[in-house]
């Protein structure tokens, strides 16, 4: 029998990281009716309402039928909101219930914690986006002009929102704080990002303001992947997405490292 000793890990604790990621995925998948099916139904309702309300008034945007222009934005909105909800609620519930120690005690460093929790949010965002897209295909023909841009923006946007959710979950001390970030920051930025309209129809000043919103580049690049039309240079959007993801990753890593609002 080998003598008892502490387990040695390499540069990355793959076992712990995989366990944390699996926990975050099982957390949302165990209530898939709420976390996957409900956003799908909401997306279909948005599609029905906007097509019925505006379809006969807005024939084309950017040379594309309005419904083709609308669908990618709706899919991206569900991706973003669910990636954010997964990580923010995970940390908030752990803090309120007092079991955040279960996250902090295992031999996981700050980077592993960040990747594990964010990975669960990215997975939920992509799964919800995929199921919503498949459901919409039943009612609307969907073509993909540039698959690479679709995949990149789905993952990059999910990561951005998952990291933002981590920061919100760490910062928030009660559910009112979480609701405030959702209602006054995430939702307005999502709706004002060109989800339902083209920013080229805005006055020049408001076009500039819209292009300062990082959510705009999530929608615009994702839509370009589907219909080949973008309101801004697509590579500018790629750079913005990578830059914002990198900044949020550094901040989240630093907050986990310091135990900001996580340790007494």
Q: How far apart are CA 46 and CA 31, in angstroms?
A: 23
Report the pLDDT value the prediction gives residue 7, as an integer from 0 to 100.
63
**Backbone Cα Rg of the chain:** 20
| 62 pLDDT above the threshold of 80 | no
Q: Is the pLDDT of residue 51 over 80?
A: no
pLDDT beyond 60 at 66: yes
Q: Is the pLDDT of residue 180 over 60?
A: yes
SS3 per-residue string spanning the chain: CCCCCCCCCCCCCHHHHHHHHHHHHHHHHCCHHHHHHHHHHHHHHHHHHHHHHHCCCCCEECCEEHHHHHHHHHHHHHHHHHHHHHHHHHHHHHHHHCCCHHHHCCCCCHHHHHHHHHHHHHHHHHHHHHHHHHHHHCCCCCCCCCHHHHHHHHHHHHHHHHHHHHHHHHHCCCHHHHHHHHHHHHHHHHHCCCCCCCHHHCCHHHHHHHCCCHHHHHHHHHHHHHHCCCCCCHHHHHHHHHHHHHHHHHHHHHHHHHCCCCCC
pLDDT at 257 over 80: yes
pLDDT > 60? residue 64:
yes
Which residue did the predictor score with more confidence, 264 or 179?
A: 179
Identify which has the larger pLDDT, 7 or 227: 227
Lowest mean pLDDT among 78-92, 93-107, 118-132: 93-107
């Amino acid at each position: 029998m080998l003598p008892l000793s502490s387990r040695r890990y390499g540069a990355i604790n793959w076992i712990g990281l995989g366990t944390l990621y699996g926990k975050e995925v099982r957390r949302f998948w165990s209530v898939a009716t709420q976390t996957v099916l409900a956003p799908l139904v909401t997306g279909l309702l948005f599609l029905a309402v906007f097509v019925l309300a505006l379809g006969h008034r807005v024939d084309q945007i950017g040379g594309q039928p309005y419904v083709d222009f609308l669908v990618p934005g709706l899919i991206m909105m569900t991706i973003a909101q669910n990636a954010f909800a997964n990580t923010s609620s995970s940390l908030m519930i752990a803090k309120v219930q007092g079991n955040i120690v279960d996250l902090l005690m295992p031999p996981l460093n700050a980077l592993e914690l960040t990747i594990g929790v964010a990975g669960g949010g990215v997975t939920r965002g992509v799964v919800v986006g995929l199921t919503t897209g498949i459901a919409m295909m039943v009612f609307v023909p969907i073509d993909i002009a540039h698959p690479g841009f679709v995949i990149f923006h789905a993952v990059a946007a999910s990561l951005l929102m998952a990291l933002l959710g981590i920061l919100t979950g760490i910062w928030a001390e009660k559910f009112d704080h979480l609701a405030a970030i959702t209602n006054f920051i995430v939702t307005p930025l999502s709706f004002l990002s060109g989800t339902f309209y083209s920013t080229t129809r805005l006055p020049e000043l408001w076009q500039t303001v819209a292009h300062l919103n990082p959510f705009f580049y999530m929608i615009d690049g994702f839509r370009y992947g589907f219909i080949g039309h973008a309101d801004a240079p697509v590579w500018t959007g790629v750079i913005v997405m990578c830059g914002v993801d990198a900044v949020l990753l550094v901040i989240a890593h630093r907050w986990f490292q310091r135990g900001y609002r996580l340790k007494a």
